[in-house]
Amino acid sequence: MEGFLRFLAAKAILLALASSFVSCYDPSPLQDFCVAVDDASGVFVNGKFCKDPKYVKAEDFFTSGLNIAGNTINRVGSNVTNVNVDKIPGLNTLGVSLVRIDFAPGGQNPPHTHPRATEILVVVEGTLLVGFVTSNQDNNRLFSKVLYPGDVFVFPIGMIHFQVNVGRTNAVAFAGLGSQNPGTITIADAVFGSKPSIMPEILAKAFQLDVNVVKYLEARFSSNYDRHY
């Protein structure tokens, strides 16, 4: 009996360890930093090669320009300026990134998801309606709120979420994301603009639409224009 209990305890420990590994996204760094570099002679860590620490400089941890408004003249009326590992090489392995989002009146950051990051957003100008939808297991509940300057809202990792400017003036928000490269799946772009296209008959049944409507939407989104972060 004692041997069996030890076996169960060992199995529980292994399952817990496996669970912790599975739930990890950006792994914790094992050094002070690993500045990304294109030189293939470096050490490959978390999708990037590491610069020799002897040659790291302050500029590797710096960028500028977030004071400049993005161009919102596009089909959704918004612009996302990314500050990720591709912009600041020093972010490599640090598990964090930042975006500035500009909105024209009525503009939106359309429904999308970040597969590798939770997002925390703060409004600095204007009025935004924001929200996220939970998973099927939670009956796809919508959590939504109108935000004003200084308000903060969190979008849990993987949840479909959106932001819409419901004010009469431009709006600006900044968001932190819990990954150096959070990834983005914009729902409409992914579903109706995939390469190659998903069979219209499949989408027609899934969305309960006429197949000709699906073909029209696929034609609209297949040009791959104005994609967001």
119 a known binding residue? yes
- Which residues on adjacent β-strands are paired with residue 119? 155, 177
Residue 184's contacts (CB-CB under 8 Å, 6 or more residues apart) are 112, 113, 114, 228, 229
Q: Cα–Cα distances in Å, from 84 out to 81, 139, 181? A: 10, 33, 6
59 a known binding residue? no
161 a known binding residue? yes
Residue 65's contacts (CB-CB under 8 Å, 6 or more residues apart) are 81
Q: CA-CA distance, 95 to 136, in Å (whole number)? A: 28
Question: Which SS3 state, helix, strand or coil, does residue 186 take?
Answer: strand
Contact 107, 77 (CB under 8 A): yes
Contact 124, 99 (CB under 8 A): no
DSSP annotation of 103 reads: E
Q: CA-CA distance, 155 to 162, in Å (whole number)? A: 9
114 a known binding residue? yes
Contact 83, 179 (CB under 8 A): no
125 a known binding residue? no
Maximum separation of any 2 CA atoms in the chain, in Å: 72
- Give residue for tokens 């499949």: 202
* Binding-site annotation: residue ranges for oxalate: 109, 114, 119
Pick out the residues of the known binding site for Mn(2+): 112, 114, 119, 161
Annotated binding-site ranges: 109, 112, 114, 119, 161
